[in-house]
Structures are given as structure tokens and as C-alpha cells.
């Protein structure tokens, strides 16, 4: 099971780091010893559609989850991701943008 989780996480990361074919906006959040990441993935960049918002617990061997996705509503993923980051921050998490 642990191998499957590592493999899935690796595939997601490999997909997200192909800048010529995709665009991703991401945040990393910390609370005590915990880390969370929120990433918006645009597979048809520079187009903002379709998009997916991924949520991951990188140091806990948990497979990243898709929280939201959109195919027709522009800025949907951005709004949802920012709202989620704001909620984490209201709960005491310290979040920062990864790629600017």
C-alpha cells in the first residue's frame, strides 16, 4: 500500500512540474509539525480550463485528493482554492504561495 501511495504521489508531482505543457498555482500550509499543500492544475495551459484543485498531505503518505474541478466556469478553481486557503488560515494554519 505504501508503494502505491508513493507511486501515485510521484505521478502527480511529475505531472505538475511540466511547465511547457501545464500551469500550476500552489500553496504550502504549516500548522505545528503538519504540512498541507493546495495546487491548482491547468492541463491545457495557458488556458485556465479545464482545471483541478488538489489537496495533499505530503509527509503523511496520503494520496492527494481532488477537491474541485471545472471544465466550463473560468476562475472557479482559483476561487475555491483561495477560499480553502482562507479557511485553513482561519483555523491557525500559516500558508504561503509557492510559485510567483
Residue range 33-67, pLDDT digits in tens: 999 999 999 999 899 999 999 999 998 988 999 99
Task: Report how far residue 99's alpha carbon sits from residue 93's, in angstroms, rounded to the nearest whole number.
Answer: 19
In the chain, how many domains are there? 1
With 60 as the cut, is the pLDDT of residue 93 above it?
yes
With 60 as the cut, is the pLDDT of residue 89 above it?
yes
Q: Which residue has the higher pLDDT, 3 or 50?
A: 50
With 70 as the cut, is the pLDDT of residue 16 above it?
no
Report pLDDT for 24: 66
| Domain boundaries, position 10 | 2-97
Task: Report how far residue 82's alpha carbon sits from residue 67's, in angstroms, rounded to the nearest whole number.
Answer: 12
**27-54 as b/e, with b when 16 or more CB fall inside 10 Å?**
bbbeeeeeebbbbbbbbeeeebeebbbb
Phi, psi angles (nearest 5°) of residue 45:
-55, 145
Amino acid at each position: 500500500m505504501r508503494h502505491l501511495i508513493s507511486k501515485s504521489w510521484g505521478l502527480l508531482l511529475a505531472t505538475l512540474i511540466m511547465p511547457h505543457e501545464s500551469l500550476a498555482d500552489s500553496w504550502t500550509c504549516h500548522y505545528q509539525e503538519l504540512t498541507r499543500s493546495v495546487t491548482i492544475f491547468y492541463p491545457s495551459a495557458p488556458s485556465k480550463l479545464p482545471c483541478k484543485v488538489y489537496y495533499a498531505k505530503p509527509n503523511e503518505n496520503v494520496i492527494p485528493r481532488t477537491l474541485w474541478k471545472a471544465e466550463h466556469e473560468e476562475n472557479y478553481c482559483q476561487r475555491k482554492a483561495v477560499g480553502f486557503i482562507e479557511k485553513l488560515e482561519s483555523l491557525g494554519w500559516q500558508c504561503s504561495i509557492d510559485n510567483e
